[in-house]
Structure 1
Amino acid sequence: MLDLLERSCIIFSMNKLDIKQQALILKLLVEGNSLRSTARIADVSRNTVDKLLRDVGEACMDYQDKALRNLSYKRIQCDEIWSFVYSKQKNVPENMKDTFGIGDVWTWVAIDADTKLVPCWHVDTRDANAASRFIDNLAERLANRVQLTTDGHKAYLSAVEDSFGCDVDYGMLVKMYGNTIEGQRRYSPAECTGIQKTKITGNPDEKHLSTSFVERQNLTMRMSIRRFTRLTNAFSVSKKLENHMHAISLHYMFYNFGRIHKSLRVTPAMEAGVTDHVWNIEEILGLIPEEVSKKRGPYKKAA
């Protein structure tokens, strides 16, 4: 817990940063730098980077929640990506093992196969309740019937049925892997030996039953958000899940609105008709609401 003096120092430091310094910090973060390396390069304290990430993360979350609605899509792909907060699950203290946000966390992601826009994501566990919350969120943002593809995670079955009913063309794609050679240590999944496509609801076009784009988006996350990088110590040391979510929120704001997609030659948000231009970092910073200064009340004498 930060004491009053330390909090005051962070606020004072943030007030001293001009827009160019703040933009530099965000550019470093969205390009995959850790908090500490960002602080070193920008020559600011790590607490200052934390504060800016928190403010911009909340602003990006609010903006995208409002902007990414009533979307007309044809093909949606969904997947989940693993990470952790505080420590890996096997190292979580016994008295914290039942606390969500300590140990394993999963980010559920949806992507439109045509515009490459990510309309929603959800940080949670990987159970059926989490799947329902994620698919509910997705369904609320869509304006028309879509073809939906997920992997073989069984939690999707009831979630999709509850949220879409029959108003969806839904299929699953299950990958089959070969056996790992005994005694061989692997840092990557076993070799994929085949796939199985299954129609679940409606009439999905089998040739478009794919999770390739969302899996590629998972790789983009691991490359762009330092705390998602595997086999390193660049994990989220924060004890607050909110900070993990702020980093994800900033990533998707920049991915959707600020980064030109190579195959599209525009940003996903432009391709989807959500915006008409490429957002720069300064525009993203402009989403942070200005703090309303409170007038000092009348002086009261001590009794």
Structure 2
Amino acid sequence: MTTLPCPSCGSLKVVKNGLIHNGKQNHKGKDCGRQFVEDPQQKRIPPQTKVLIDKLLLEEIPLAGISRVCDVSESWLQEYVNCKYAAVPQAVNVSFKKKGQLTIQCDEMWSFVNDKGNKQWIWLALDVATREIVGGYVGTRSKQGAYQLWLSLPGGYRQCAIAYTDFWDAYGCVFPKKRHRPVGKETGKTSYIERFNCTMRQRVSRLVRKTLSFSKKLDNHIGAIWMFIHHYNSSLQD
């Protein structure tokens, strides 16, 4: 027996149970079966802390700030974030729409990964009636980018939606001419998507124009954007 209490149940019925990988003595609580070491270097992160981290990832807070607030190591947090963003679906999940008069607003927003020479354009489409984001893509500001945005739209939008965009040539190369409406900002026909772009830039720390929280990994950059899109769409249904 040892004099160490079990961290789970508090019992003093604890026995030595071999050594862990670094040679440190392992212990086991006889009442609950919990295995532990004295003064562990790695601590278990409780579920409620992970819930808080998920919420903070949707705010304008850098990872270093989240690490301090939640009292977790930056290395653990980075690994957690990598897994979190990798699991985020990169496709919209929008409410059912009847085929008919659908209207969308589309726009592209500049961002970068690692340095400002590595530009990553965020292409988005927003339903005017519901304000949902109904399409999205992150990549180059080219015909290929516009094409990927088009492919990301649900079938009903590709079949019948009227699309208002700016005068960027790539849209005209991809969107059906009969349903494509290029307009200037003064018309207000793209005001909803422009407002969303502003909201996302203010909420996602890695998109703030002057920041030290920029993305260093493209996969995480894309994951953070899609995570916010899903959060935004779900908030419209609450």
TM range (shorter): 0.7 to 0.9
Matched, 1:85 2:108: no
The residue aligned with 2:199 is: 220
Task: Work out whether 1:22 is the aligned partner of 2:37.
Answer: no
Provide runs of 4+ in structure 1 moved above 4 Å. Answer: 69-73
Residue in 1 that maps onto 2:128: 113
Is residue 2:182 matched to residue 1:172?
A: yes
Aligned-residue offset at 1:139: 5.2
State the 1:174 CA deviation: 2.1
1:87-109 C-alpha deviation (Å, 9 max, x unpaired):
111xxxxxxxxxxxxx1111001
CA offsets 1:164-209 (integer angstroms, 9 cap, x no match): x75xx3211124xxxxxxxxxxxxxxxxxxx4x6xxxxxxxxxxx7
2:85 is the counterpart of 1:37: no
TM-score (normalised: structure 2): 0.74
The Cα shift of 1:70 comes to 5.9
CA distance, structure 2, for counterparts of residue 141 and residue 244 of structure 1: 29
Letter in 2 for 1:74: L
The 3-state SS of whatever aligns with 1:142 is helix
Partner residue in 1 for 2:11: none
Cα distance in structure 1, aligned partners of 2:67 and 2:183: 42
Question: 1:296 maps to what in 2?
Answer: none
Please tell me whether the aligned partners of residues 107 and 166 of structure 2 are also in contact (alpha carbons under 8 angstroms).
Answer: yes
Query: Matches of 1:119 and 1:59 in 2, distance apart?
Result: 20
- Structure with higher strand content: 2
Q: How far 1:50 moved relative to its partner? A: 2.4
Distance 1:174 1:126 in 2: 18
* Cα-Cα RMSD: 2.6
* Alpha carbons of structure 1 residues 47 and 141: separation in structure 2 relative to 1, 3 Å: farther
**Structure 2 unaligned regions, length at least 5:** 1-21, 23-40
SS at match of 1:245: helix
Q: Is the 8 A contact 2:112 2:120 kept in 1?
A: yes
Could you give the per-residue CA deviations for residues 245-284 of structure 1, whole angstroms, max 9, x where no partner exists?
1111211121111x3xxxxxxx2xx2xxxxxxx4xxxxxx
Structure 1 residue 225: deviation in Å?
Answer: 0.4
Matched letter for residue 61 of structure 2 = N
Report the equivalent of 1:247: 224
Could you say which structure has the larger radius of gyration? 2
Identity of aligned residues (%): 29
Distance in 2 between residues matched to 1:157 and 1:41, nearest whole Å: 47
The answer to whether the Cα contact below 8 Å between 2:205 and 2:213 also exists between their aligned partners in 1 is yes
May I ask how many residue pairs the two structures share in their alignment? 197
Equivalent in the alignment of 1:235: 214
> What residue is the counterpart of 2:233 in the other structure?
256
1:151 lines up with 2:166 in the alignment: yes
Higher relative contact order (CA 8 A, sep 6+): 1
| Structure 1 unaligned residues grouped into runs of 5+ | 6-11, 90-102, 176-194, 198-208, 260-266, 271-277, 279-303
